[in-house]
Amino acid sequence: MSAELDSLYQEIILDHYKKPLHAGLRDPFEAEVHHVNPTCGDEVTLRVHLEGDKVADVSYHSEGCSISQASTSVMADLVIGKTVDEAMAIHADFLALMQGKGTVEPDEDVLEDGIAFAGVAKFPARVKCALLSWMAWKDATAKVLADNTLEKA
């Protein structure tokens, strides 16, 4: 039983939960979104600041369980400093890992601390927790890109 729990609650996850990276809402930002998990009530408010095609900052305020909190921290740390394309590719990898029901082998070079979430994929009820902030980030980024396109048009 403890083994099962341990596969979900990796030390890395508990560390990010207790000491989340990049937490707080910061300026400047081009888009802010608010996402909730309707079934459990977890919430995240998330801001994205792009500089050119680079993710310059992701800042957030979130309430939720260890998995969702840790995932937000890991996500922010992974995407900040990457280009949007690179970050989207990481997002895609993370999504594939989460939806793989435990059959997908994570690539540590891409996902870094994110590989700690491999165990979450075996707990269908928790997959949504791990994805909440990723979805929010993708949504916010899409908003910025759309606005940029509009401005240019």
Partner 1 sequence: MGLEGLLPELEIIRKDFPILERTVAGGKRLVYLDSANTSQKPQVVIDTMVDHLENHNANIARAMHALGAESTEAFEGARDRVAAFLNAPSRDEVIFTKNASEALNLVASTLAFRGPLQLGEGDEILITEMEHHSNIVPWQMLAQRTGATLRWIGLTDDGRLDLSNLGELLNERTKVVAFTWVSNMLGTINPVSDLAARAKEVGALVVVDASQAAPQLPVDVVASGADFVVFTGHKVVGPTGIGVLWGHREVLDALPPFLGGGEMIATVTMAESTYAPIPHKFEAGTPPIVEAVGLGAAVDYLSAVGMDAIHRHEQTITRYALEGLASVPGTTVLGPLDAESRGGAISFEMQGVHPHDIAQVLDTQGIAVRAGHHCAKPAHARFGVQSSTRMSSYLYTRPDEIDALVEALNYTRAYFKVG
Binding residues vs partner 1 (CB under 8 A): 1-2, 4-5, 8-9, 14, 36, 38-43, 63-69, 123-126, 129
By beta-carbon proximity to partner 1, the closer residue of 58 and 129 is 129
By beta-carbon proximity to partner 1, the closer residue of 45 and 148 is 45
Minimum distance from residue 36 beta carbon to partner 1 (Å): 5
Whether the CB-CB separation of 121 and 106 falls below 8 Å is answered with no
Minimum distance from residue 49 beta carbon to partner 1 (Å): 26
Minimum distance from residue 40 beta carbon to partner 1 (Å): 4
By beta-carbon proximity to partner 1, the closer residue of 44 and 55 is 44
Whether the CB-CB separation of 55 and 148 falls below 8 Å is answered with no
Query: What's CA 103's distance to the chain center, in Å?
Result: 20
By beta-carbon proximity to partner 1, the closer residue of 64 and 106 is 64
Q: Which residues pair with 61 in a beta bridge?
A: 45
Nearest to 72 by CA among 44, 102, 40: 44
CA distance 91 to 55: 13
Minimum distance from residue 20 beta carbon to partner 1 (Å): 13
CA distance 142 to 11: 32
